[in-house]
Structure formats: C-alpha cells, structure tokens
Amino acid sequence: MDTEIRKEGRDSMNAYKKEVRFTIGMTAAFILVGNMGLIFSIFPVDAMLFGFPVMYIIPILMGWFGVFFLTIVAGKIGNKIDDEIERENELLNSIPEPAPIGTPDPVAPVITASKKVGGV
C-alpha cells in the first residue's frame, strides 16, 4: 500500500516540471505572438491579406486574437497545474515517514514550510 502511494507520488512530481515548462513555453508563445513585427523585420513578406500588407495586418491580428487565444489556454493550464500541485501536496502529506534503513526517498518532504498556503 505504502509503495503504491509512493509510486503515485513520484508520478505526480511532474507538477513542478509542468509548472516550469508551462511558464517558459507560454511566455515564449506570448512574446512571439505579441512581437510579430520582429519576425517580419527578419523575414519580410511582400504580400497582401484582407486588403492590407501582410506585414501590417498579421501583427495586429496576432496581437489581438492570438493573445486572446493564448490567455484562454494559459488560464486553463494554469488552473490545472494548481490543482495538480494541490493534489501532490495532499499525497505527500499522506505518505508515512520513510523507514530508517534504506535508500533516501525522493518523494518525502525534506523540510516542511513554516507557514500555511493562504489566499487561494
């Protein structure tokens, strides 16, 4: 039973990695869609779209709808990661103390944070 809980704990350790990857990935995506002017300054395009030069209208559309779409995605993933962190906290708190002999347990908490998480 304890082994199963620990295994679940290891699997759910991914919440931290997901949080870091999500933040880096979403930041890069936001910067990209908001700075299409930089991309077109490196790779100019001489074409028209919807009656405007592509290099004018694409940055405007991406800066509105692209960013809007990303905020929806970021909101959903952010909420999901929060839930995963909460689940992982519960799981870690439910794991009994590791046995005194044997290899160090990577899942067991090293130190307990002194203050309770608040404001959520």
Partner 1 sequence: MNDGNWQLSNPVLGLVVVGLTFLLFYVVGFLANRKSSSAKDLYVGGANVGAVTNGLAMAATYMSLATFLGITALILQLQVPFILLWIQLILAIPLITIIYGTSLRRMGAFSPTHFIRDRYGVTASIIAALFMILVSIMYALGQMIGIAVTFETLLGIPYMTGLIVGGLLIVGYITIGGMAGATKNAAIQMFIMALMFIVPLAAIMKAVGGTGWFFPPLFYADMVPAMLESVPTFFDYQFSPKWYFSIIPALTIGALGLPHLAMRVYTASSLKSARSAMVWFAFILGLVFSATYAMGFVGVFATATQGLTVSAADADKLTIILNLVYNPEWVTALVIAGAISAGLSTLSGNLLAIGALLSQDIVSTLKPNISQKASLRLGYTAIFFGGVASILLAIDPPAFLVVSILWAFGLAGVTNAPLIIVGVWWKEANKFGAIAAAVVGGILYIVVSPFVFPSIVLTGHSLTDGLGLSGAMLAVPVSFILLIVVSYITNRIPSLSNRLTTQADTELVERIHGWTDVQPYRYSSKVGAGITVIACVAVAVWALMPWNM
Interface positions with partner 1 (CB under 8 A):
16, 19-20, 22-23, 26-27, 30-31, 34-38, 40-42, 44, 50-53, 55-56, 59-60, 62-65, 67-68, 70-72, 74-75, 78-79, 82, 85-86, 89, 92-93, 109-120
In DSSP notation, 46-57 reads: --EETTEEHHHH
In the complex with partner 1, the residue whose CB is nearer, 2 or 52, is: 52
Give me the least distance between CB of 32 and partner 1, in Å please: 10
Please enumerate in sequence order all residues whose Cβ is within 8 A of that of 39, keeping only pairs 6 or more positions apart, or say none.
32
Nearest to 105 by CA among 1, 7, 20: 7
53: phi then psi, degrees, rounded to nearest 5: -60, 140
Query: What are the distances in angstroms from CA 18 to CA 3, 27, 102?
Result: 24, 14, 29
User: Which residue's CB is nearer to partner 1, number 7 or number 80?
Assistant: 80
Nearest residue (CB) to partner 1, 5 versus 30 = 30
How many CB atoms are located within 10 Å of the residue 28 CB?
10
Q: 51 or 102, CB closer to partner 1? A: 51
CB of 4 to partner 1, least distance (A): 20
